[in-house]
Amino acid sequence: MTLQFPAEESFAAVRARRTHSIKWQRYPADVLPAWVADMDFPPPKEALEAGITLLDRGDTGYPSPDLVMNYQLSYQDWAKNNFGTQPNSLATVADVVAALRIIIMAVTDPRAGVIVLTPSYPPFFRVVNDAERELVPVPMQRINRRYTIDFDLVARVAAKEHVQAIILCNPQNPTGRVFTRNELTMIAEIAERERLIVISDEIHQDLRAPGTVHIPYSSLDHESSSRAVVLASPSKSFNIAGLKVAHIELPSDTELRSRIEGSPLLALSQATSIGLSVGTQAYRTEGDWLAEVRTIIDENFNLVIKGLGDQDGITITEREGTYLLWGELLRRPSGQSAYEFLLNRARVAVGPGEDYLPGAPEFFRLNLAAWPSVVETMIERIHDALAAL
Ligand SMILES: Cc1ncc(COP(=O)(O)O)c(C=O)c1O
């Protein structure tokens, strides 16, 4: 099956089409939205058609067991073909953030410490706090524009009595790191020593830079991986976040598994039938759509690296995965965060650094899952705003 990727759309055309999208509707019409993590590309046509069929028939009730089973089978094939893995049984859920909350509540004790590597996707902070666990932030180290895990620090923190879990994000949002087998094994060793549960959010697993390999945590040949819980979803890979479908790869450790399966919250956070249908079909596409998307994203990163950089006072983090660029804006009017400056002077809406790394207003996150002409306009605007300083 060959997928027809649509011709490039203008900024105005995307805006006119996306009248129900928070990404496009939060800011005034002249602002280029590069903040929340969804893509400007329409999802694969065949996948959408699966949802349209349900709507046409009015078959919009609660999902049947067969629908759930088909989703699971299509993901298992996807995992086998793309990562060479055979995920354990899956539990489908509405979204990854809901799943995180379910897992934290089910597998950790009240007030247990949960490690989050920073900078981090902000809902990790919120989910841990809302679950009334102790958020234990562990900063990553930035060495030559690349972030690495400070394993000594993780080990020291993990040794504390009350620390019971670590949330990993791989590929990492916002730094774009894709962790190596060696790095994951070092985490697994700490987890084994300290009886830590690893919760690995792999929602960005399909979005990798050329030459980068994603290693699913569940594929580690390590004793502690039986106590790991992996989360994934077609929502980032195929741009269907609004359809509400994701899954938990249940751990093989039977006690942990039954705690998750028995969670009353699981029943309250079910995937939708449209999400399951579209997700099932998306995982059955042969990758042409995704390959084209990856190429556009890679080109966009190259455009930004060519167009902006040290000469402008911008440090761009090396990226291995995701479509998110983590940057540092050193030159800006005093008292203004990078977010404020880019919004007010360049009319580009980015993710504010402080959301990901409290106390770091110089950072910003730029979403590059956009058409190249839009990215070129972003670059020009940022360039001009900096030149006018
Ligand atoms: C790392 C990560 N996890 C989870 C999510 C949200 O996923 P969901 O919409 O399934 O909750 C995002 C969205 O940006 C993300 O980047």
Domain ranges within the chain, ordered by starting residue:
11-43+287-387, 48-284
Enter the tokens of residue 76: 């298992």
Query: What is d(CA 377, CA 252) in angstroms, rounded to the nearest whole number?
Result: 49
Query: Does ligand 1 come within 6 angstroms of the Cβ of 38?
Result: no
Which residue's alpha carbon is at the smallest distance from atom 14 of ligand 1? 37
Q: Which CATH number among 3.30.420.310, 3.30.465.10, 3.90.1150.10, 1.10.3210.10 corresponds to the domain 11-43+287-387?
A: 3.90.1150.10
| Cα(332)–Cα(385) distance, integer angstroms | 10
Q: Which two tokens stand for residue 146?
A: 């690349």
In ligand 1, the atom with minimum distance to the C-alpha of 124 is 3
Rounded Cα–Cα distance for residues 154 and 189 (Å): 11
**Token pair of 167, please?**
């949330």
- Out of 3.40.640.10, 3.40.50.1390, 3.30.1540.10, 3.30.70.120, the CATH code matching 48-284 is 3.40.640.10
Token look-up 């504010």 returns 352
Ligand 1 centre distance from Cα of residue 170 (Å): 11
Cβ(203) – ligand 1 distance below 6 Å: yes
Please indicate whether residue 207, judged by its CB atom, sits closer than 6 Å to ligand 1. no
pLDDT tens track, the chain, 389 positions: 344 566 788 888 889 999 999 999 999 999 999 999 999 999 999 999 999 999 999 999 999 999 999 999 999 999 999 999 998 789 999 999 999 999 999 999 999 999 999 999 999 999 999 999 999 999 999 999 999 999 999 999 999 999 999 999 999 999 999 999 999 999 999 999 999 999 999 999 999 999 999 999 999 988 888 899 999 999 999 999 999 999 999 999 999 999 999 999 998 999 999 999 999 999 998 778 999 999 999 999 999 999 999 999 999 999 999 999 999 999 999 999 999 999 999 999 999 999 999 999 999 999 999 999 999 999 999 999 999 99
Rounded Cα distance between 255 and 42, Å, is 41
Look at ligand 1, atom 13, and give the residue with the nearest C-alpha. 37
Q: Is 121 in the pocket of ligand 1 (CB under 6 A)?
A: yes
Q: Which atom of ligand 1 is nearest to the CA of 95?
A: 10
Residues 338 and 332: their CA atoms lie apart, in Å, by 7
